[in-house]
Amino acid sequence: MKIDGGLGTDLTKVPNAAKELEAAGYSGAWTAETSHDPFFPLLLGAEHTSTLELGTSIAVAFARNPMNLANIGWDLQAYSKGRFMLGLGSQIKPHITKRFSMEWSHPAARMREMILAIRAIWDTWENGTKLDFRGDFYTHTLMTPFFTPDAKELSPFGTPKIFLAGVGELMTEVAGEVCDGFLCHGFTTEKYLREVTIPALARGRAKAGKTMEGFELVGPSFVVTGTTEEEMAAAAAGTRQQIAFYGSTPAYKGVLDIHGWGGLQEELNGLSKQGNWVEMGNLITDEILNTFAVVGEPERVAPELITRYGDVIDRLSFYAPYKANPDRWLPVIDALKKG
């Protein structure tokens, strides 16, 4: 199992952060698209490391277009010497239409087409095939030598792997059909992963005439840990707040439904509209916390993660929405690699 970390988006801190992650034994590092661009830090990360894999988890796909993403992916893959992973996500309609002022319709079908378009563009650049992609949402039919990168830039690395994030079954099937891997949302439980996510991925793979062989599952897992009662309490409080935030989102209700907690989503959603964030966290019971998160002292974390996900997750990262000493994770990383 590969263990990944978070790279962050503060460009002044990224070089040291990347070097520290590589020195600590992490296999990869991911950025998220929140208040800063997710791609710029990866360029710095690539410059200051030699083995660390680098990816976006996630970049908002529908805020961009296939040609734009194809260019970015090509350049980062070339500069990192084959270490880039293009992780995409759809976001939700209000953000796409109101924050990015972009189109939103049929998200699963649009995402499938976007990824196929990116691959068609890469095929043109890498192999010289005529660009003739015509879809319902995207059309790419013009490519001249002046705008074509040199195929030698990617030799011998090949084009980047594409990962897709999702929660719903339709988007998950798309990931299985057209992607190289799937980014499990942090708001995922072992039960939902095994009973909903993996079967949907398998259906997508079957549509493409493929098996799950070689397909990577990337799983961020909530972890509540510490070496003192105070640290454990702070970690639990921060994690409850994050679980409550995700639980308030209607699109994620299915995860709660499978555990019989569907009514909680409406309650959390109502409180979120009132701005009652603290009260939302108080609704996350110990049972819910322990279902979404591994809770325990550092020495208990790795065995529990292996028990839950060791046979299904290929890459794992720690989702810890609270301040923690980075050294706390070193023995956990060693144990997971050995396990």
Look up residue 11 and give its DSSP letter.
T
The answer to whether residue 241 is domain-embedded is: no
At residue 332, the pLDDT reads 81
The answer to whether residue 158 is domain-embedded is: yes
Over residues 278-293, the mean pLDDT reads 96
**Alpha-carbon distance 242 to 137, whole Å?**
34
- Write down the mean pLDDT value for the chain: 94
SS3 222: strand
Select from 120, 86, 90, 129 the least CA-distant residue to 108: 90
**DSSP assignments along 27-67, one per residue:** SEEEE--SSS-SSHHHHHHHHT-SS-EEEES-EEGGGS-HH
Over residues 22-41, the mean pLDDT reads 95
The answer to whether residue 251 is domain-embedded is: no
Burial of 181 (0-12, 13-18, 19+ CB in 10 A): buried
Q: Is the pLDDT of residue 335 over 90?
A: no
pTM: 0.93
The answer to whether residue 276 is domain-embedded is: no
The answer to whether residue 252 is domain-embedded is: no
**Alpha-carbon distance 82 to 279, whole Å?**
46
At residue 339, the pLDDT reads 64
* CATH code at position 187: 3.20.20.30
Cis peptide bond prior to 156, omega within 30° of 0: yes
Over residues 291-314, the mean pLDDT reads 92
Number of domains in the chain: 1
The answer to whether residue 253 is domain-embedded is: no
- Reported as a pLDDT band with limits 50, 70 and 90, residue 229 is very high
Domain that holds residue 126: 2-227+294-338
The answer to whether residue 141 is domain-embedded is: yes
Contact 197, 189 (CB under 8 A): no
Backbone angles phi, psi at 322, to 5 degrees: -165, 165
Interval 96-114: pLDDT, tens: 999 999 999 999 999 999 9
- Residue where the block lists tokens 């661009």: 37
For helices 66-79 and 107-127, the axis angle rounded to 10 degrees is 50
Select from 55, 23, 25, 22 the least CA-distant residue to 39: 55
Q: Is the pLDDT of residue 331 over 90?
A: no
Interval 48-99: pLDDT, tens: 999 999 999 999 999 999 999 999 999 999 999 999 999 999 998 999 999 9
